Structure 1
């Protein structure tokens, strides 16, 4: 069994919890995931099964979220799971002000990840250092925000904004909530988060844990084929004799442009991932060798 599962991660579960549960349900050890989600977040968590775990690095990096941001509140974790460090009602905040401030979160921006995050500093996770009470300088990173769309606005002492955000990998939505609150001088924190798109997988086609269990019991469960999840990559087709050499780790001549490609034998059998460079097709990962 090998391929991908588009899992809708439940609230309160870690990504590791999901992998452990899928391992138990499928009775397989070789399971991995793409794009960690915080326990309080829900939504798309791509799961790789079997040899497909070797393809995780080649999945597209696109991400999209539906987030709820609460203003007037700041927390240690930049979401409602953390300790409140500041709380000040801001009933005068209006949607027009938020719309103007939100324009600063477009394109390539610099972002400081939350101190409670999985980023490593000198070999240690930031959340481990934070729990130990250690103060460290969190490295600034450049991330890309492709689009933001306001979905709803709820006025009040602690107003809330629902917003859809499409972004590149490595973007922290918790940091956007925090920084948007800082721009507005109200404070802000993430109140809810659902990932709607990740690595080419969409929430509309995801399975809950209950869905997965039901389909397994009924014998109807099917994984997404490994190469289907890589449809964003161009295709290279090799004749059988050349494919055999390539699968043995040999570079083969190929007069095409450069880049990462999906490699097939005679248009039907997915062989793996190759790198086109200087009119040469170099094996990067042989998924299915030619017999």
Structure 2
């Protein structure tokens, strides 16, 4: 599932001229997200950087590398993500992915393409999802994966999640390939497991590729080799934030927002990107009752 990003004739940015921004990485399969981040930090000599939205080692695709002050805005990215998943029917693993131990094998029978489509529709919209046993979710202050490694019997917690789109791309038993657009909090490993349970044969997530992390897509991402060779562009923070509805303020209102104060006005509930009258970034703010309250102020000159 390799996708080629467009080439560019412009000169690559360097840490010396873009200190705060977002770099789009096409993480390869077989590498952990932290490992990939550390490679990028060494290659670009970055002092401060983080990644947005962990991809497991077996997965590939878009990983956001947030640089400098952009790390403060990590929570605002990835409200929606798009994935292509390959699901292996007839086999269950303890981790719900290919890195785990096989715990059950079942016969695949009476599963035609129409039945698969019918089952997939059950997972469109909001529903309660059990988290994977091997996950970082805490129970009584302890990580689930640590409890699992000790052999502890635990009741998996459920969370309300939302899948906005789910589509069957390929039906080649024992494999299904699906595309999903999900809101924050969805576990694709749990989805594969639950699809297998609904089909009566069990399943695990065999392959995973992340296609987008709102508002960015993999078409604009760079490989590790691209980055090592200097063929990359960092998106400046001021250009990486305007995926929220924008609000333009002037005069005293700009001063108030910059100093953490609320400004009056009617703003429907939600997150806003605040600019001054010259188009300079001011803050990320939240609409509240009859006002706008800053959540993260953007320093001048970013």
Same fold (TM over 0.5): yes
Say yes or no: does 1:207 pair with 2:195: no
Q: How many residue pairs are counted as aligned between the two chains?
A: 284
| Partner SS, residue 285 of structure 2 | strand
Deviation at 1:223, TM superposition (A): 1.2
Aligned to 1:85: 103
After TM superposition, the score normalised by the length of structure 2 is 0.87
CA distance in 2, matches of 1:178, 1:62: 21
Q: Distance in 2 between matches of 1:125 and 1:42?
A: 24
Q: 2:296 aligns with which of 274, 285, 288?
A: 285
**Matched residue SS, 1:144:** strand
Alpha-carbon deviations, 1:4-48, whole Å to 9, x = none?
A: 111111112222112222221222232112211111111111121
Q: Distance in 1 between matches of 2:240 and 2:120?
A: 33
Gaps of 5+ in 2: 1-18
RMSD across aligned C-alpha pairs, in angstroms?
Answer: 2.1
C-alpha distance after superposition, 1:219-266 (max 9, x if no partner): xx3211224333331222232554234322333334544432112222
Using the size of structure 1 for normalisation, the TM-score is 0.90
Q: How does 1:114-193 map to 2 (within 5 A)?
A: 114-155=132-173, 159-193=174-208
Distance 2:137 2:277 in 1: 43
- d(CA) in 2 for partners of 1:145, 1:248: 38
Native 8 Å contact 1:46 1:199 kept in 2: no
Change (3 A) 1:182 1:4: same
Return the alpha-carbon distance in structure 1 between the equivalents of residues 191 and 268 of structure 2: 38
Please say which of residues 186-195 and 18-27 is displaced more in the overlay: 18-27
Structure 1: 5+ residue stretches without partners: none
SS at match of 1:215: coil
Task: Report SS of the residue matched to 2:35.
Answer: helix
Give CA deviations for 1:115-169 in whole Å, capped at 9, x if unaligned.
01122222222112212222222211111111111111113xxx11111111111
Alignment of 1:24-103 (within 5 A): 24-90=42-108, 92-103=110-121
Name the residue aligned to 2:261.
250
* Residues 247 and 289 in structure 1, CA contact (< 8 A), matched pair in contact too: no
